[in-house]
Amino acid sequence: MAAKFSVKTTSSFFLVLCLTVILFFTLSCFSADPDPLQDICVADLSSPIRVNGYPCKPESQVTTNDFFFSGLRNGASTANPLGFGVRRANASTFPGLYTQGVSVNRVDLARGGTNAIHVHPRASESNLVIKGKVLFGFVTTANVLYYKVLKAGETSIIPRGLVHFAANVGSKNVAYLSAFNSVLPGVSPIPDNLFASTPTIPNYILAKNFRVDEKVIALIKSKFGLDISLSPATWEDI
């Protein structure tokens, strides 16, 4: 009897603890990726086998270099319409972090540059500003926007799966690091998902959603380089 009672008390204590952690840190009690079952698992990217991820390289073939990565020393080019560059240290580029449940991106933003509105379906994100002034914002499922401008050395958290963005609001270039609690956080760029999918979402559906005329949707799609004359016809047969 006493043993049963104490088990119950312990589990409800744990539940309360979990809920408290969720409330105060907006992070789940459970990590985003499965726990590792081995000390190391350097992803074998060359293997054709995929079982919810990559197989591990045989330990006899693992080297020191598998665990060190200098790919974030320099930023990616920001010479594009968004003024945005990203380099990723994830399971695909840095196989040594595989199964450890973490990965890191380096984001560079030119003056006036923006990290497009997007979602990471599999990870929470923590940002550390290295240089410049960055506006970070995310929107909750209840449609509340939280945003703030951060300077070098300051940090933000983006709760898992929420719509978010970043913008360079200073007069210099920006660099920041984004750490994720997943080796493959994934990214869904909202503008591309909505206006440049393959095949494209029918204009009348987007027009209803955005409460505008279909011509406005066609104009937006044309900005993504889509052949707008083809897209409605593609859907006529449905």
236 is in an annotated binding site: no
Was 125 annotated as part of a binding site?
yes
Q: Among residues 176 and 220, whose Cβ is nearest to ligand NAG?
A: 176
Cβ distance to ligand NAG smaller for residue 28 or 93 = 93
> 143 labelled as ligand-binding?
no
Q: DSSP string covering 193-233, please?
A: HHHS-SSPPPHHHHHHHHTS-HHHHHHHHHHTT--TTTHHH
Q: Minimum distance between the CB of residue 108 and ligand NAG, rounded to whole angstroms?
A: 13
Burial of 182 (0-12, 13-18, 19+ CB in 10 A): buried
Separation between Cα atoms, residue 126 and residue 138, nearest integer Å: 12
> What distance lies between CA 105 and its chain's CA centroid?
9
Residues that bind ligand NAG (CB under 6 A): 88, 90, 92-93, 184-187
Q: Provide the minimum distance between the beta carbon of 185 and ligand NAG in the complex, in angstroms, as a whole number.
A: 5
List, as one string, the DSSP characters of 106-155.
EEEE-TT-EEEEEE-TT--EEEEEEES-EEEEEE-TT--EEEEEE-TT-E
C-alpha span between 116 and 193 (Å, rounded): 12
Nearest approach, Cβ of 56 to ligand NAG (angstroms)?
18
Determine if residue 173 is labeled as part of a ligand binding site: no
| Residue 118 beta carbon to ligand NAG: minimum distance, rounded to whole angstroms | 11
Rounded Cα gap, residues 152 and 174, in angstroms: 9
CB of 135 or CB of 187, closer to ligand NAG: 187
Q: Residue 184 or 194: which CB sits closer to ligand NAG?
A: 184
Residue 131 is which amino acid? K
Instruction: Determine if residue 115 is labeled as part of a ligand binding site.
Output: yes
Which residue, 49 or 142, has its beta carbon nearer to ligand NAG?
A: 49
- Give the annotated binding-site residues for Mn(2+): 118, 120, 125, 164
Q: Which residues are annotated as a binding site for oxalate?
A: 105, 115, 120, 125
Annotated binding-site positions: 105, 115, 118, 120, 125, 164
